[in-house]
Amino acid sequence: MTLEVIAAVLVGAAAVWLVLQPLIAPGRPSAPVFEPLDPEETPKGVALAALKEIEFDRETGKLSDEDYAYLKGKYTGVALEALRAESAEQAARGDSAAGGGLGDVEVMIAARVRALRSAATSAPPGAPSCPTCGPRPEADAVFCSTCARRLRQGGACAGCGAALGPASRYCERCGAGVAA
Amino acid sequence: MTLLGQFALWAAFLIAVWCAVIAFSGRWQGRPELAATVTRSVYAVFGCLVVASLALWKGLITHDFNIEYVAAYTSRNLPPYYIVSAFWAGQKGSLLFWAVVLSLFASLAQLLTPRRNADLMPYVAGVTSAVAAFFVSVMLFGASPFERLGYTPADGRGLNPQLQNVGMVIHPPMLYLGYISITIPFAFAIAALLSRRLDTGWIHAIRKWTLVSWLFLSIGITLGMWWAYVELGWGGYWAWDPVENASFLPWLTMTAFLHSVMIQEKRGMLKRWNLGLIVGTFLLSIFGTFITRSGVIASVHSFTQSNVGYFFLAFLVVAAVLSFTLLYTRWPLLEADVQLESMLSREAAFLFNNLLLVGIAFSVLWGTLFPILSEAVRGSKITVGPPFFNRVNVPLGLLLLALTGIGPLIAWRKASTANLRRQFVTPVSAGAATLVVLLAAGVRDLYPVMTFTLAGFVAGTVLQEFYRGIRARRRMHGESVPVAFLRLIERNRRRYGGYIVHVGVLIYFVAFAGMAFKVEREATLKPGESVELRSPFGHTYTFTQVGISQYEALNRVVSAATVQVTVDGKPAGLLTSEKRQHVDSFKRPTFEPSTEVGIRSGLREDLYLVFAGAVGGTEEAVYRFNINPLVWWVWFGGFVLAFGGIVTMWPGGGPTIARTRQAQGGYGVALVGAGKETDR
Amino acid sequence: MTDQAGSRTPGRRDFLRAGLALVILPPVQDSLSGRGDLGTVRDPSALGRPLAPTDPAENAAEIQAIELKLACNCGCTLDVFTCRTTDFSCTYSPRLHREVLALREQGLSAQQVLDAFVAKYGEKALMAPKPRGFNLAGYLLPGVAITTAGAALTWLISRRRAVAAAAGPSAAAPEVQASDEELARLQRALDEVDD
């Protein structure tokens, strides 16, 4: 009986701690990570898969020539549009690897590495931050010296002064939200 | 351990309510610590329910008969595996089982869903927690598995003999897994509606879950048929019993969803319809639970009945009102991207497929509820038995079977006449050839002939699809036949796995049609006397009474009656059916004697022997003999169906876009681009 | 040679043949036990209710056909024939069976027996309600609903198609406006798709 009460108290305490821990001790909330779509689920991927399927359906005799021409034209247009949008995005990002089909994960990892490095070495608190390349060491710069994009001021957490990564919505040291 | 169990239930209930309140308040948006609380609550509820389950299992295993549930469903001499399965054999335990599996699925959904759906997940957690809180509250306020008796019986009542069967150890969990897993797609649907993120994101997130619940439902229903066949002893596997119907309803709507969701993915149509189907499937699964447990409609599943049914009715109404209100308020956001372009397109075929599946679901629901309706309208009680359901549903089923063959032959978007002719020649000839063979063999019964003919047509369709697919791959990629065959399935699992499922379905249909030819007969035989039955396949079976022997087994006294079988005059061994008088550990009888049928299963027909009883305690026995054609094929069809389902949901598959090479290259280039030193 | 065969130790082939015969041939009972005097079982109470021997006449096909159409009222959801040959604790179905036999002995036809049951027990005595009056709704509503919905769907689709046709010939393949460089890039992207 006593043992059971102790077990019940332990279970209850463990459950309550598990649930309330983020509120009581908001130490390290895992920052929401942006996870890109699988390449197959992007507009480009969907259009490419559709083009492949059209070829296959014609080969199996499902599509008449007329329908094939129509669908092929339509989805080629969609695919080209997706490719153009992708290039435009990459150009906007100032990516030297345009056309290489650089995935979002890689951009993220690279940006993250840059942010950590510069934060660890030279970025003073309150330094401006580039949307692509992270916090910059030059306190009075207006444009990024790496990619020439306009810098965002105050790339540091208002709460604890830690440097913020690009597109951070929460400080990764203290968990405070970042005002957009 | 009941104290711990009861405490864990309360903890689970309070945490689940907390989770639902925070989640639906929406305050977690922009506050990661609240979002984290919501997610962690899901895990905490799961932990608490695991503790409660372990507490109940401990009571079962240690024979703590002071616990009402343990005394009601087990006894000291019950075989160990039935003690484990007694967990879900009764009303109260199955509620706990339901709750714990639901919270397991809810935790898996939180863990396994890609992070890009992070802003749906707290809402998902809210819905699953609300459902879990409901189930736990039924236990807390209606039927607690931890209730204690005022005294301790020396031995329990033992498990209902009909539940002492391997089928019963796995059939209910499978079906429950199916029912329960429907909650996850439902939760995503509600989350998408609440957050107004109604693009295809939530559809992708639930793709696997819908397949999982469909697969569990299919396996659960098939196992249920098997259990009914070998254990209930009435000679068949499907009697349109309300509980059977209740499991069939969500299967139908889920099958409809699995088809129509492909149109939404490919063409951006049917968004509202798909949401409605998911919500409807969930409500039907709750409705099924209500039917099973309330006893408002007479059924063979009376062992789980009690007053908790009305909890479910209330929950059903509340869930329905809330879901459909939510759907209504988001209606304008669910505009279709594309409009249908032609009647003869595959989208149209899919629409008619959905219409039929939902129509059959409606018709089954209608038949199930018709006795209540009739009593309310006319005040007279009626029985709505298998003849009614067969009359109404067999034509619909045949239409559906036909569509199974037609749908895959039509291309997306538009199909021309010439193209149709090219597609249909082979399958239609296959159907026609089947018809000719049947007529030549002298089969004249309308429905079976139609079923077999259509089955031939569907088989033709599937074979042609595989043949043309392989041929196309050989031409396009220069692959050998086996490679092309495997790649064909691998690269388009949903289509070709789906075709395997279609094969399973057509096998079911053929097997069901076979039962139209079953032969049954009652006879009283003294030892040495025999009875003759002629089977639909033209064999003559002779059953000669051998005798009755009695012996004691672990928890029962067995009376085994044996007949000798000859086929067309040739001896074919013995067949035994048993009467089992179950006893507790003091040798006191616990239940009415139950009957264990003797079955000899074959590819063509099953011999099915039921020992009704003896005349005046002598070896003169009363039997029912059944010859059931094609029953083996039902179980085989189930295997094929499940295999196709697994192929469809196997991870990976589909055309992949190469990215490993790119990723590495991109990483290096990006670092160079950043102007930092790299060690490439 | 032949007289030695009996004493010869069985060869491997004989052994295999004997084993194979054991596997393939079903076990055959030499003689039937219990022929002659009728044995009694040790514990008749374990067999449930003692039954009366059934007369082949009471299991005639037409009796069975009638009973398959009559519902047992013990709450089993089965018909009289299936219930009385399945659920041996049921006391209703054997009684209903006797009633059927009695009615048949009075010379009633199958339909008259069914009618007599309906007159005595109400409409719920039938496994499926007669398709007339309100019951027709039970039989017809699903079919009517599906047909109506199907017709509505067909109409809707054909109307949309007409509207689309009036809007212009959509069937013409859309012109693809793209430079050679873009098309080459699309081809590269397509080649990267492993299907």
Predicted local distance difference test score (pLDDT) of residue C33: 45
The one-letter amino acid at B43: Y
A175 to chain B: closest CA residue: B32
Nearest CB partner across the interface for B670, out of A7, A63, A110: A110
pLDDT beyond 60 at B302: no
**Of the spans B582-586, B661-665, C160-164, which averages the highest pLDDT?**
B582-586
Residue of chain A whose Cα is closest to the Cα of C178? A80
CB contact under 8 A, A49 and C190: no
pLDDT of residue A100 exceeding 50, the answer is no
Please give the single-letter amino acid code of residue B206: I
Torsional sign, CA C176, C181, C186, C191: positive
**Nearest one of B564, B594, B518, B544 to B235, comparing CA atoms:** B518
> Domain containing A54: what range?
39-92
Q: What pLDDT is stored for residue C56 in this prediction? A: 79
Is C56-125 in CATH node 1.10.3470?
no
Residues 6+ apart with CB under 8 A from B94: B88, B172, B176, B304
Domain count, chain A: 2
Over residues C59-67, the mean pLDDT reads 87
Is pLDDT of A94 > 70? no
Q: How far apart are CA B413 and CA B406, in angstroms?
A: 15
- Which residues on chain A place their C-beta less than 8 Å from a C-beta of chain C? 44, 48-49, 51-52, 56, 66, 69-70, 72-74, 76-77, 79-80, 83-84, 99, 101
Yes or no, beta carbons of A146 and B33 under 8 Å apart: no
Q: How confident is the model at residue A97 (pLDDT cuts 50, 70, 90)?
A: very low
Please report whether residue A143 resides in a domain: yes
In this complex, how many residue pairs, one in chain A and one in chain C, have their CB atoms less than 8 Å apart?
45
Selected for mutation to probe chain A from C187, C188, C190, C191 (highest A CB count within 10 Å) is C190
Of A32 and B19, the one with more pLDDT:
B19
> Residue A34 to residues A130, A149, B114: CA-CA distances in angstroms?
18, 22, 10
Closest CA relative to residue C86, chosen from A157, B301, C94, B126: C94
CATH topology of domain B1-159: Four Helix Bundle (Hemerythrin (Met), subunit A) (1.20.120)
Distance from C-alpha of A84 to C-alpha of A101, rounded to nearest angstrom: 11
**Local structure of residue B74 (DSSP, 8 states):** -
Question: pLDDT band at C27, cuts 50/70/90?
Answer: very low
Residue C159 with chain B: CB contacts under 8 Å: none
Instruction: Kindly give, in sequence order, each residue whose CB lies less than 8 Å from that of residue C146, ignoring residues fewer than 6 positions away.
Output: B355, B356, B359, B362, B363, B396
Q: Give a yes or no: residue A29 inside a domain.
A: no
Percentage, residues of chain B above pLDDT 90: 50
Give the distance from residue B213's alpha carbon to the nearest chain C alpha carbon, in angstroms: 26
Question: Cβ contact (<8 Å) for C88 and B613?
Answer: yes
Which positions in chain B touch C26 (Cβ < 8 Å)?
571-573
Residue B331's pLDDT is 82
Lowest mean per-residue pLDDT among B254-258, B260-264, C50-54, C116-120:
C50-54
pLDDT tens string B530-548: 999 999 888 999 999 999 9
Report pLDDT for C157.
78
* Span B54-73, average pLDDT: 92
pLDDT of residue A139: 63
Residues A125 and A174 in one domain: yes
Among B53, B57, B83, which Cα is nearest to B159's?
A: B83
Span(s) in chain B for CATH 2.60.98: 518-633
Position C32 scores a pLDDT of 45
pLDDT, one tens digit per residue, over B427-471 is 999 999 999 999 998 888 899 999 999 999 999 999 999 999 999
A175 in the same domain as A119: yes
When pLDDT is cut at 50, 70 and 90, the band that residue B666 belongs to is very low
pLDDT at A127 over 70: no
Q: Say which CATH architecture domain B518-633 belongs to.
A: Sandwich (2.60)
Q: Which residue has the higher pLDDT, A99 or B595?
A: B595
CB B60 within 8 A of CB B74: yes
pLDDT for the residue numbered C1: 38
Tell whether the model's pLDDT for residue A124 goes beyond 60.
Answer: no
The per-residue pLDDT for range C141-168, each reduced to its tens digit, is: 999 999 999 999 888 877 777 776 665 5
Whether the predicted model's global pTM rises above the 0.80 cut: yes
Q: Angle B446-477/B481-491 helices, nearest 10 degrees? A: 110
pLDDT at B378 over 70: yes
Percent of chain C topping pLDDT 90 = 16
Average pLDDT over residues C35-52: 76
Average pLDDT over residues B569-585: 90
Q: Which residue has the higher pLDDT, B207 or B514?
A: B514
* Domain annotation covers residue A129: yes
Q: Among A163-172, B147-156, B243-252, which is the least confidently predicted range?
A: A163-172
Shortest Cα distance, chain C CAs vs residue A68, angstroms: 9
Q: What is the ipTM of this complex?
A: 0.80
Q: Are A46 and A83 part of one and the same domain?
A: yes
Per-domain residue ranges of chain C: 56-125
Counted across chains B and C, CB pairs separated by less than 8 A come out at: 245
> With bands split at pLDDT 50, 70 and 90, how would you rate the model's confidence at B358?
very high
The answer to the question of residue A170 being in a domain is: yes
What ranges in A32-170 are assigned the alpha helix state H?
Answer: 43-59, 65-92, 104-121
Whether residue A67 is predicted with pLDDT greater than 50 in this model: the reply is: yes
Among the ranges given (B68-82, B512-526, B647-661), the one the predictor scored with the smallest mean pLDDT: B647-661
The answer to whether residue C149 neighbours chain B at the CB level (below 8 Å) is yes
Percent of chain B's residues with pLDDT above 70: 92
Higher pLDDT, B386 or A160: B386
Domain(s) of CATH 1.20.120: residues in chain B: 1-159
Chains in contact with B, where contact means 3 or more Cβ–Cβ distances below 8 Å, are A, C
Q: How confident is the model at residue A81 (pLDDT cuts 50, 70, 90)?
A: confident
